[in-house]
Amino acid sequence: MLAPLLRSGVLYMIWRRHIRQRALGIVVTVLLVLAVNLIHSEAVAFFKATERLDLTPLAFYFRWLGWLLAGAGYLWFIERRIAKTTQANKAQNKASEKNQTKAKAAKPAEQNDGFDALRHNAPLRSRADIMLERKKRDQAD
């Protein structure tokens, strides 16, 4: 019973971290590869029908070129964008951490704990303190 939950949790984590941000690029790349394969098969069928079999190797070269361009396009447009956003987020986090450390260094620790208002209040007096003060006043007279 626990194994399916763990598997679905792992799949969800993989989806959130890796696949979700690449999903559109993967779909477009797969569609480009399928389009290249369709065009290649049509070209080979055309060359056979017209008996121009000497052009068939060119169709295979262009198919491989199309596949390479689809893969390079995926790497260029999707993975590079992801790397740039990751790098920008890291730089932003470092800058915010520096600002936080500067803010902490600028203010003393006493001002940051939230008890300043209580420290400067007059001390509370109990009933016993009041009675002792009266007794001291009465003895002084």
Question: Which residues are CB-neighbours of 60 under 8 A, at least 6 positions away?
Answer: 40
Question: What would the mean pLDDT of 92-113 be, rounded to a whole number?
Answer: 70
What is the rounded average pLDDT of the residues 89-111?
73
What pLDDT, in 10s, does the model give residues 11-50?
888 878 888 888 889 999 999 999 999 999 999 999 999 9
Q: 60 and 36 in contact (C-beta within 8 Å)? A: no
The C-alpha atoms of residue 45 and residue 39 are separated, in whole angstroms, by 10
pTM for this model (two decimals): 0.57
- What pLDDT was estimated at residue 18? 81
| Residue 50 dihedral angles phi and psi, to the nearest 5° | -90, 5
